[in-house]
Structure 1
Amino acid sequence: MSVPEIDPSALPSDAYLLDVREQEEWVAGHAPEAVHIPMTQIQGRVDEVPSDRTVYVVCRVGGRSMQVAAWLTQLGRDAVNVGGGMQSWESARRPMVSETGQPPFVA
């Protein structure tokens, strides 16, 4: 199954961005508007993911998010992988925040 992919710089400003990285990765740096549901929890929390709009899925480099986007697509959801993950997000100089009080970075 082919999953659509988008470059971080092309992400719509009102996008629902689902970050599936682990907690320590999230804390170090994430998109301000992202929703955090780690890949390891997505099956049990799928009801928290909207079914009435496109979900853009991001991880560190794009592998985990591709798997989650493919799974969501199998469920009938409209899911798009964010190509290159948060590493590409950071390279594109998209906004990031951290939960540590330190400057955000991709862990």
Structure 2
Amino acid sequence: MSDIPTVAVTDLPGDALILDVREPDEWAAGHAPNAIHIPLGDIPARLDELPPTDESLPVICRSGGRSGRAVQWLVQQGFDVCNVDRGMRGWAEADKPVVSDNGQDPQVL
């Protein structure tokens, strides 16, 4: 997977626009504040929801596997995207902001 464009969590601001491809329960438990949620399996049907950006759109999952697959596929479709190295686990370990949608303290599942 070395041909997949990747970005380090530490290179992203806490308010970065990010595409989160995790499942709904993972998203609800905790996600980056400005993330857009489109589960991996829904991406082909929801390409029109990807935001226009002036730079590469970071894609994130829990640890980098699913987002890596999403990035690989999106690059083939002509999108400028990059995989967030170490995913939401790395995001949380770097003390980046995490918010939840479920009323609980945010956590990375």
TM-score (norm 2): 0.90
Q: Mean Cα displacement is larger for which, 41-50 or 80-89?
A: 41-50
Q: 80, 88, 91: which is aligned to 2:90?
A: 88
| Structure 1 residue 32 displacement after superposition | 0.5
Distance 2:13 2:66 in 1: 21
- Structure 1 equivalent of residue 7 of structure 2: 6
Q: Judge conservation of contact 2:15–2:33 (CA < 8 Å) in 1.
A: no
Distance 2:16 2:88 in 1: 15
Distance 2:15 2:94 in 1: 18
| Structure 1 residue 34 displacement after superposition | 0.2
| Structure 1 residue 56 displacement after superposition | 0.6
Task: Indicate yes or no: 2:29 matched with 1:50.
Answer: no
| Structure 1 residue 16 displacement after superposition | 2.7
TM-score (norm 1): 0.92
RMSD: 1.6
Runs of 4+ in 1 over 6 A off after TM superposition: none
Question: Which 5+ residue runs of structure 2 have no aligned equivalent?
Answer: none
Aligned pair count?
Answer: 107
- Structure 2 equivalent of residue 41 of structure 1: 42
Question: Which 5+ residue runs of structure 1 have no aligned equivalent?
Answer: none
Q: Give the fraction of aligned pairs with identical amino acids, expressed as a percent.
A: 49
- Structure 1 equivalent of residue 100 of structure 2: 98
